Structure 1
Amino acid sequence: MRHTRSRTAAALLLTLGAAAASLSPIAQAAPGPRSGGPEMSPGLEQAMQQDLGLTKSEAVQRLSAERQATAVDRRVRGLAGSSYAGSWFDARTGRLTVAATDPSLAGKLRAAGAEFRRADYSETRLDATKKQLDKAGAPEGVAAWRVDPKVNRVVVDVVASQRADNDVRAFVAKALKAGPVQIREVNAAPRTFAAGTVGGDPYYTGNVRCSIGFSVHGGFVTAGHCGSAGAAVRGWDHTPIGAFQGSSFPGDDYAWVSVGNGWWTVPVVLGWGTVPDQLVRGSNEAPVGASICRSGSTTRWHCGTVLAKNETVNYSQGAVHQLTKTSVCAQPGDSGGSFISGDQAQGVTSGGWGNCTSGGQTWFQPVNEILNRYGLRLHTA
């Protein structure tokens, strides 16, 4: 189907002076913070109510609290210095919690607007442990590993049905010797969300369908597993858009595609007819615990929370580093699609497990990392 746009997006197109024969499914974009507190769109509030079980007023209050927590997070990192051990947003209190190894910092961090929790290990120490695991080469039965500030450990997820596998047991033993590590069992391993050709969705490369992430000047960013550098890209109507200019997978899962042939980009995330199209006003990184929503060509809009950052996910094709884990569901064809928290761009969909009927979890590659890697500049409203 041809994707319709809300009056807000249409107005934006007019103000940008856009005029062309066909429109691509536009992705979000956002380089810098916006001053003040912009109103949240009804569509974003609606999606949060649906997937997080919030009332409209609760959704608005939570988004306001998360904006404040994001600002506090930037301040307290500097205050904690080498003692910093991570942070997360607590939806129950509406505040940011900061972990640090130095208890004498408690008063200073609370004065800055954060709750304090004593930690045994600094983020630097935990990151060093995680980097050892990144180099170890994990078997398929090991799903992922990450630094978890709440438990102050590197948490390794092992597929329960493969826990007794010899290679898995060897990796677990090596992990436990590497440093402060905790082993958890999960029901399934993550997979990527690319899909075979289905007509009427955002873009195609070869016989694979994926979703546009965020608009950049000259193109858009998306998932690396969707296509290799040089691969031609077609739009929702199968007319040529451009080509992959850069792509990395595994190791990373990001790419960027040039746009031409009468197509253009604007700072909008499609609502896919389910919610109004969303404008993006920045790319400030939301803390762990914050609400987050995803737009994809298969399942449209779904919301959840940020569960973890800097997680290494072990796909069957190889490990991907520095992903953010969420409780949002996704399905094949959603790969590359937009993750947004409030009005701030967060990242592009990588993969996960489960679906949007029974539930699941999804990982994304942070957008700021992609921009820095390729020297790209995003559009903002």
Structure 2
Amino acid sequence: MRRRRLTHVALAALLALGGLSAAGTIPAAATGSTAGSAGTAPSAYRPASYGVVTAMQRDLGLTRQQAEARIADERAAAALAPKVRRTAGKAYAGSWFDSEKGRLTVALTPDAPADTRSAIRAAGAEVRTAAHSARRLDAVKARVDRLSAPTGVSGWHVDPVANTVVVDVVRKDRSDNDVRRFVSRAREAGPVTVRTVSAAPRTFAAGTVGGDPYYTGNVRCSIGFSVHGGFVTAGHCGRPGAGVSGWDGSYIGTFQGSSFPDNDYAWVSVGSGWWTVPVVLGWGTVPDQLVRGSAVAPVGSSVCRSGSTSHWHCGTVLATNETVNYSQGAVHQLTKTSACAEPGDSGGSFITGDQAQGVTSGGWGNCTSGGETWFQPVNEILGRYGLTLHTYTG
């Protein structure tokens, strides 16, 4: 462990000498090695690191060429998504990345003008007709958010592919009277579909177990992304004013802001010789990944997660703006993925290609049997606290 950590420190120093600004997080950095881009990638495409590509191969069953091409396609879809939403206007009914076709699909209501459909197709997206607008489904979800949910209801979100609000119910609790009452009231709000899930979500903090990477009292969590002046992480890992120590036991800094439940985000200011670098750690499993921005990946995109317990794992974005009903209370605006996580991974990084997506909140299952994991979008955290993501611009 110590030898690997010393290597990270040396690499961080080399990166700083190479032009990265030093401002304060964990003493670790990336090698900067990247895989070559696929033949279908546009000329402006910057390939992801070898670590992201190999993790996608392992977890998504892709070849190296398929993984690289998918990253390029997802980058194009992420850039296109906000543009087509503006074009669609009131007729917008959601969008998602279609991994089979390698492009963005946009749902429009039946009253969408022909020229709007043509413009969206011309921009490079598929078009599908859906009964309910995104505005209506968001309003239905907002009404469900105002209900008090029993523990047998694990969460709810807008599903753009199914064009409905999906309420997830834990299988063993589906006959519970409180669950049935909640589902009945949710259906009164509008188009709602009930889905059965295997287990209730939980947060992924853990007691101190030696090793990685930061500690608050007797709790171990994972660093999310470096920002200028500190790093962002999960809110359930610490309250404002709580001190933070690093992997070596030395003092890092202090929680400056934290919210949980309702939200699950926080930021920690750093100092005492610690500095920030725009990387996501591979934890010795894969090379580290440089962070170049925070463009939002659409539903259907691949996403990889790094955490101090289970290290690198990849999956797919399953839903956005989901309300998750933890035992501590509901948390809103989370993104659901099929990537696994385990205790101690809380606060860790979710990244698509080289674009930061969010910090690990919680989930169910583990990295042996599988499961689902949620993250708090990083752009929401940056906006809430007025932070600037530390990115690599080389």
User: Normalising TM by the smaller chain, what interval?
Assistant: over 0.9
Counterpart of 2:8 in structure 1 is: 5
Shift of 1:152: 0.6
1:241 matched to 2:249? The reply is no
Count of residues paired in the alignment: 374
Q: What's 1:228 paired with?
A: 239
* Match status 1:146 vs 2:157: yes
Does the 8 A contact of 2:208 with 2:220 survive in 1?
Answer: yes
1:193-342 to 2 correspondences below 5 Å? 193-342=204-353
Question: Using the alignment, how far apart are the partners of 1:121 and 1:22 within structure 2?
Answer: 45
Partner of residue 357, structure 1: 368
Equivalent in the alignment of 2:391: 380
Distance 1:167 1:135, change over 3 A: same
Asked if 1 retains the 8 angstrom alpha-carbon contact of 2:222 and 2:348, the reply is yes
The amino acid that maps onto 1:160 is: R
Q: Which residue of 2 aligns with 1:51?
A: 59
SS in structure 2 of the partner of residue 144 of structure 1: strand
| SS of equivalent residue, structure 1 residue 361 | strand
Q: Which amino acid aligns with 1:118?
A: T
Given that residues 210 and 337 in structure 1 are in contact (C-alpha distance below 8 angstroms), is that contact kept between their aligned partners in structure 2?
Answer: yes
1:233 Cα offset (Å): 0.6
Q: Distance in 1 between matches of 2:95 and 2:61?
A: 24
CA RMSD across the alignment: 1.9
**Structure 1: distance between partners of 2:48 and 2:338:** 21
The 1:286/1:301 distance shift into structure 2, 3 A limit, reads: same
Secondary structure, aligned partner of 2:287: coil
CA distance in 2, matches of 1:299, 1:22: 21
Counterpart of 1:173 in structure 2 is 184
**2:34 equivalent in structure 1:** none
The residue type equivalent to 1:206 in the other structure is G
Amino acid at match of 2:79: A
Answer yes or no: is the 8 Å Cα contact 2:9–2:28 preserved in 1: no
Query: In 1, Cα distance between the equivalents of 2:48 and 2:141?
Result: 37
Aligned to 2:122: 111
Instruction: Give the alignment of 1:89-104 within 5 angstroms.
Output: 89-101=97-109, 102-103=111-112, 104=114
Are 1:344 and 2:355 counterparts? yes
Write the distance in 1 (CA, Å) between the matches of 2:380 and 2:24. 33
- TM-aligned CA deviation for residue 108 of structure 1: 2.1
Provide the rounded CA distance (Å) in 1 between the counterparts of 2:11 and 2:354.
14
User: In the alignment, which residue of structure 2 is the partner of 1:31?
Assistant: none
SS at 1:54 equivalent: coil
**Is the deviation greater in 214-223 or in 13-22?**
13-22
Report the residue type matching 2:69 in the other structure: Q
Aligned residues of 1:5 and 1:277 also touching (Cα < 8 A): no
Q: Is the 8 A contact 2:12 2:27 kept in 1?
A: no
Q: Is the 8 A contact 2:23 2:229 kept in 1?
A: no
Alignment partners' CA distance in 1, 2:74 and 2:82 = 13
Task: Provide structure 2 residue ranges, at least 5 long, that are not aligned to the other structure.
Answer: 31-42
Higher relative contact order, structure no. (Cα contacts within 8 Å, ≥ 6 residues apart): 1
- The SS at the match of 2:178 is helix
**1:183-198, aligned counterparts within 5 Å?**
183-198=194-209
**Deviation of 1:13 (Å):** 2.5
The aligned amino acid for 1:195 is A
Tell whether the 8 Å contact from 1:196 to 1:209 is kept in structure 2 after alignment: yes
Which of 126, 133, 143 is the matching residue for 2:137? 126
Structure 2 Cα separation of the partners of residues 43 and 243 of structure 1: 31
In 1, are the aligned partners of 2:23 and 2:276 still within 8 Å (CA)? no
Asked if the contact 2:22/2:275 (under 8 Å) is kept, the reply is: no
Tell me the distance in 1 between the aligned counterparts of 2:381 and 2:322.
Answer: 16
1:76 aligns with 2:84: yes
By how many angstroms is 1:163 displaced?
0.8
Give 1:64's aligned residue. Answer: 72
Separation in 1 of the partners of 2:25 and 2:189? Answer: 54
Residues 312 and 322, structure 1, Cα contact 8 Å, conserved in 2: yes
CA distance in 2, matches of 1:291, 1:39: 15
Equivalent-residue separation in structure 1 for 2:119 and 2:8 (angstroms)? 47
Q: Aligned letter for 1:284?
A: A
Structure 1: give runs of 5+ residues left out of the alignment: 28-34
Using the size of structure 2 for normalisation, the TM-score is 0.91
Give secondary structure in 2 for the equivalent of 1:106: helix
